[in-house]
Structure 1
Amino acid sequence: MRAQPLVAVAFAAALTLAGCSSAAPTASQSPSSAASAPAGGAGGDVGVFTWWADGSEKVGLEALEKLFKEKYPNDTFVNLAVAGGAGSNAKAKLAADLQNGNPPDSFQGHAGAELQDYIRADQIEPVNDVITTLGGASVFPQNLLDLLTVQGNIYSVPSNIHRANVVWANPEVLKKAGASAEPADIDAWLADMQKLKDAGVATPLSVGGTWTQLQLFETVLIADLGVDGYTQLFTAQGDWGSDGVKKAVAHYAKLLSYANTASDGDDWPGATDAVINGKAAYNVMGDWAVAQFTLKNKKDGVDYTYFPVPGTKGVFDFLADSFTLPKNAKNPGGSKDWLSLIGSPEGQKAFNLAKGSIPARTDVPSDDFPAYQKTAMASFKSDKIAPSIAHGAAVSQAWNSDMSTAISKFYRSKDQATLVTDLVAAAKKNAV
């Protein structure tokens, strides 16, 4: 019997959602001197490492930098952003800096299991006291805190929330084919794709490279297993060879039969543009896609529509950018100033308005946010929360890499049995 992964207790707690017994950790649980350094204008340089170097992410970071200077005038923000590779270039440099004992004062990571690698390497400190000071479970959903908790500690402060299980659709293309506005489940969605195919739509579903395919697959897993069965996959009781997983693999294979041919390196904007241009009817993409529609001057509800992946209504497949307190940071007090800012109501509003995501806090008014973000904020408060595989909330970086390899191989071979075998092997290798 394999050992439980570090986050297994978090996933088990998440199954009971809000009201469960695992309360947010308290400041007294933070063990180190760095973690107990006070926030409040420590002064000095505060080096913040991200991959937010372009587009709406850069605009969001600039909004935070401006607010940081206003709130902590004694601190000097140092932008350590590294561009390129959808974060892969930044992660490579960060790994080298941490290995060489030269950590930034804070660095960006995906909240959840992706941080296991840094925790196991003893490279980041708990930030329980920061979360508690920011309001803990009174402002951050308890089920989100459960998913962020590793062996009783929280190791990052979420700056935003994205939703991964969103279908973006071209209403004109759907109307011409007589497809429904929102299919009830995967089978109904596949029936609509056949209608589209029969109506002459060459590409009912657009996909990009491997990570976009992994994201699509995780949403099918949620649809077929339900949120509880899905989250159990990441615990010692998880069975990646189950009939439920095999059903999801079969559905996934059928969905790909209605999709375009993509190269491994194809990024998400092209797949979203296919919907915008009417070449495709659907694209499953995180809600950063709304910025692409806005960029092309498309109107919500007129030129595009959106709904949860069929079968996942009432589930919020979440990912979150978050920031850490590295061990042996040169300015831990400045680090805590930064963490306090990005977790504050004003910080979350400024950043998310610019980036297109939603606040992790539930006490930020939705009045100033656009239509899609209003719906996402309402869903985040009421839906069950599931952690994203593709974006680091559910699995470690190593596990993600092995699953990505399996998905890439399947895209070429379409061998369902081999994909199930590869998924079982990835879990056995990494869930320790």
Structure 2
Amino acid sequence: MGIPRRALAAAAAALLLLTSACSSADDDDGTVTSTVEVFTWWAEGGEKAGLDALIGRFGAACPGQSFENGVVAGGAGVTAKQVLATRLLQGDPPDTFQVHAGAELLDHIDSGQVADLSADFGTWGLRDALPAGLIETLTVNGRLWSVPAGVHRANVVWTNERVLADAGVRDAPHDVDEFLRDLDLLRRHGIEAPLALGRDWTQLMLLEAVLISELGADGFGGLFTGATRWDGEPVRRAIDDYARLLDFANTDRNSLDWPQAERLLVEGKAGYQLMGDWVAADLEAKGFTGYATFPFPGNGTAFQWLADSFALTSGAANPAGARCWLATVASVEGQREFNARKGSIPARTDTPTTGFTAYQTGAAEDWRSGVPVPSCAHGSACSQPWQNAANAAVAAFSTARDATALRDALAAAAKQFIRQQ
């Protein structure tokens, strides 16, 4: 890894003290500049555009602070999380890092690797601006540990309107039974796999949506606090519905990531895909406009969220600069500019939607009025080890189709990882 950044920062500080004795300023305007390393996986597309907008605001709001991009590219941050874990263990932390808000931070909190931001939430107006359900999920051991930059919705169904029209499907289904009826109608009209689906975590997303329909928002949330039993009859019914949905999915799902599954939708080989609303920007980039959306049937006003957020490392070389970055992320204008470019929506409910797409504007309204529900598939409801166990369980079910084994595996994971937050 080379010389740890903390050691480099100490050496730089010593150098600044030495040079300040010989010169009245380091910069042309007499301002000493400190570097803030911000660790993300936002390397391209709308994610990078959103990050660039935040960098611009940071530069204006935080004089004397210089942004250092600690980006590690890779879809969904898989590689970045591994690099971050190594750096934290080796005592070489960035000042602040991107993380999915919620339970994904539990291991970092337990290891003392992140700082308490509870007081800052009040200073930055987040306690009043964020939905109460989100504040509740972000709270661990009575404290708040990360600042959400933007929110995506997970429980969204995307359609190919031409495929549906050709099969005579005119309206969105109201419940899972109606959804299954429409899937069967598409198959009888020649669409072999009307439900496009990808590997493990995308399958977990689908199962979660079915569980919300069966259990309701509170009952689903209780699966991750111990208030709802994984081995209960409602979960059994939900798994049965999930199995029926899999019967209409593509058989190569275990080898596809979500963009490859999305291609089935775009090419008219499928009529539906359950996926987060980052799909909108991807479809627009591909020039495909013949789609519509609706919340997963039976989910009602449940808004299953995932949020990109930033935490302050307890060993930050520049904690003051990192807090200025977090204040930028937390600000109304920071959230507006970031999310308008990334395709997500602001976590703050008081943010204007100027410059947003029609979908984003509608999603922001749903966020204000809906019921926030966390997602294990995206780290807001469960820790990373728990998420890994759940992904393995649904991947096994995809081939073995053993409903009892799936329910037992999910119940065992809950027993191992559950904790009161």
TM-score, scaled relative to structure 2: 0.90
User: C-alpha separation between the residues in 2 aligned to 1:106 and 1:148?
Assistant: 17
Tell me the secondary structure at the aligned position of residue 76 of structure 1. strand
Compute the displacement of 1:152 (Å): 1.3
Q: Distance in 1 between matches of 2:357 and 2:128?
A: 25
* 93-102 or 129-138, which deviates more: 129-138
Kindly state the Cα deviation for residue 265 of structure 1 after the two structures are TM-superposed. Answer: 5.0
Q: State which of 43, 46, 49 in structure 1 corresponds to 2:36.
A: 46
Find 2:207's aligned residue among 180, 197, 217: 217
Deviates more, 1:54-63 or 1:72-81: 54-63
Within 5 A, what are the aligned runs for 1:121-140? 121-140=111-130
**1:364 aligns to 2:351 (yes or no):** yes
Deviation string for 1:345-404 (max 9, x for gaps)?
111111111110000011111232101001100000001111011000000001001001
Tell me, yes or no, if the aligned pair for 2:336 and 2:353 is still in contact at 8 Å. no
Task: Work out the percentage of aligned pairs sharing the same amino acid.
Answer: 45
Shift of 1:298: 2.9
Aligned to 2:101: 111
Does the 8 Å CA contact 2:147/2:326 hold for their aligned counterparts? yes
Q: What secondary structure is seen at the aligned counterpart in 1 of 2:157?
A: strand
Tell me, in whole angstroms, the C-alpha distance in 2 between the residues paired with 1:71 and 1:167: 39
Answer yes or no: is the 8 Å Cα contact 1:318–1:385 preserved in 2: yes
1:425 aligns with 2:412: yes
Match of 1:145 among 135, 140, 163: 135
Change (3 A) 1:43 1:334: farther
> Aligned-pair distance for 1:84?
2.0
Deviation at 1:42, TM superposition (A): 9.5
User: Residue 210 of structure 1 contacts residue 265 of structure 1 at CA under 8 Å; is this kept in 2?
Assistant: no
Q: Which residue of 2 aligns with 1:156?
A: 146
Matched, 1:178 2:168: yes
Counterparts of residues 10-409 of structure 1 (less than 5 Å): 43-299=33-289, 303-409=290-396
Give, in angstroms, the shift of residue 137 of structure 1.
2.9
The count of residues paired between Structure 1 and Structure 2 equals 389
For the structure 1 residues 373 and 134, does the alpha-carbon distance in structure 2 shift closer, same or farther, using more than 3 Å as the test? same
Distance 2:40 2:253 in 1: 27
Shift of 1:263: 4.9
The runs of at least 4 consecutive aligned structure 1 residues that moved more than 6 Å come to none
The structure number with the bigger radius of gyration is 2
SS for the counterpart of 1:420 is helix
Letter in 2 for 1:420: R
Cα distance between partner residues in 2 of 1:206 and 1:256: 10
For 1:150-188, what per-residue CA distance to the aligned partner results, in whole angstroms no more than 9, with x for missing partners?
121000000000000000001111111122421000111
Distance in 2 between residues matched to 1:285 and 1:180, nearest whole Å: 21
**Distance apart, 1:85 and its partner CA:** 4.9
TM superposition shift of 1:87: 1.1
CA RMSD of aligned residues (A): 1.4
Distance 1:228 1:124 in 2: 29
